[in-house]
Amino acid sequence: MVLGLRHWVPALTVLAFAAGLTAARAEPAHGIAMHGEPALPATFTHLPYANPDAPKGGRLALGFTGTFDSLNPFIVKGNAPRGLTDALYGNNVWDTLLMRSADEPFTLYGLVAETVDVPDDRSYVEFHLRPNARFSDGKPLTVEDVIFTVDLLKTKGRPIYRNRFGKVASIERVGETGIRFVFGDGADRELPLLIGLTPILPAHATDPATFDQSTQTPLVGSGPYVIESVTPGARVLLKRNPDYWAKDLPIKRGLDNFDEISIEYFRDGNAWFEAFKTGAFDVVMETDPQRWATGYAFPAAASGKIVMEEVPNGTPKGMSAFVMNTRKPLFQDPRVREAMTYLFDFEWINRNLYNGAYARTGSYFQGSALSALGLPASDAETALLAPFPDAVIPPVLDGTYAPPKTDGSGRDRAMLKKALGLFGEAGWTLKDGVLTDAAGAPFRFEFMAKSREEERLALAWQPSLKLVGIDMVIRTVDSSQYYDRQKTYDFDMIQMLWTASLSPGNEQNNRWSSAAATTEGTFNYAGVADPAADAMIDAMLAARERPDFEAAVRALDRVLMSGRYVVPLFHLPKDHVARWARIARPETVPLTGLQPVTWWAAVP
């Protein structure tokens, strides 16, 4: 039975309907920026990177490897397909209160909410909903649905939602269309924006009793597309809703152009790429430079039917790495973790596997003003780190740290010697070709891979580990098992990319906080539990001005680099994108790179 709001007793609404408002009212605005003011005026007609005259029609076919076993992307249980609610491919099924501009570091403009009010201290945020907002079944989207959603996600949603809404002190209804979230001290200045990114669920069509169970039954949303059909584990077809309530809003002009979006999954990377070559799906965001250099010598690419582009992207490159799970005794000693970094011969692997296309990653915010790599700590950073004198190692503090650089031979003796020295300090001894601890137990761990590409890279690393007596067992598992084990931290080592933005915020808690280290389903795969990291995240979230914000992020970067939680890998200087020419895009590329939500079907 589907339960409506009257059957659901939300926790927050015990305090919600206060008779009076608790803070001085701010001025309503059309948008909000994390720092400074929105770049677009209230009178803007469309996003600067969208084509307002883009034709409607056709189909966008997306392809991914793996599988899915749920259509609910908001809960821990089950794995939902990409493309339903997605940072790259769009919030296609569920609209949010506000919508992000890809041309600014972190600015949101009104979508479900027509206006947003935030005082200078950001102790609350108030939204007024558009009266014409509707769910796909035609029912109005109301303040009651927002309250229902918050309480549901707070109790049964992913940890990122629980953490976000756990900071809300109370909710107050303001007239017929208004809702105010009160935060108390306003220390987390990003919180109003994160609340604005909340997807709204319909109270009349969502059952709280079963919400946290994986399901193949489509959920009702308010976005531009509805789920038309599902082949469990293999394919989802989205159909554009002709009655989509927001289709004529300036924020949506030139977006959501395809009549259909097909989302198909393939068993492995080879099957996936072969399908792309035949035209089974339309676009590859290429991450393999070897394939980019040599793998597109097939007729469709040679004839121009496939367009290959190298596109600039102004966001930080993030951290691509082999992640050591510090919950495991084997990786709890930082000297052991540092030793592992000396055993990765990037120069040999980059030359032999990737035609030298990659650059080495060293920072969690690589290639931006937020990165501390190669820079001495500023006075502001030093002040933030002062209460934690042991949190940052001297080379990271003075800017001399860099990832180890080998001679490219595949067996650099100097690197092997440094690694063995650190292993020795940590109690490990190389004896008869086996690295053992004081009890004689061998240094052995499992590398869990989810694709042949990850397996291939791990196999390239394996010989270097054997040179110092380490036995790395490589196990490739299917995607369902992989994500189930990943969410419960049931692994020794995995490969991971933590993407980064120009305005990192609360997601850093989900990645690096002590609380996330002991909560299943977070992105803190390394198990980081460091008071210094917690404090730097708090400082970052509390910063009012951009210089203070950047200092806090760089200080966090230093703490993470000093913890040696990962073996840093590499990144591509530009985005590599291949698409069938039947898909067109605007000429303007926004600050954060290509936006498929602005693409359209080209006229033959």
Q: CB–CB of 402/341 below 8 Å? A: no
For residue 186, the model assigns a pLDDT of 63
| Sequence-separated (6 or more) residues with CB below 8 Å from residue 490 | 484
Q: CB–CB of 487/76 below 8 Å? A: yes
Burial (Cβ within 10 Å: 0-12, 13-18, ≥19) of residue 364: buried
Q: CB–CB of 222/141 below 8 Å? A: yes
For residue 213, the model assigns a pLDDT of 94
Q: CB–CB of 418/342 below 8 Å? A: yes
For residue 240, the model assigns a pLDDT of 98
Positions in the chain whose pLDDT score sits under 50: 1-24
Burial (Cβ within 10 Å: 0-12, 13-18, ≥19) of residue 402: middle
For residue 27, the model assigns a pLDDT of 78
| Same fold yes or no, 1-313+574-604 and 319-571 | no
Domains of the chain, residue spans? 1-313+574-604, 319-571
For residue 603, the model assigns a pLDDT of 73
For residue 2, the model assigns a pLDDT of 37
Angle at the Cα of 484 from the Cα atoms of 481 and 487, rounded to 5 degrees: 145
* Topology, domain 319-571: Dipeptide-binding Protein; domain 3 (3.10.105)
| Sequence-separated (6 or more) residues with CB below 8 Å from residue 30 | 38, 42, 109, 110, 115, 116
1-313+574-604 has CATH 3.40.190.10 classification: yes
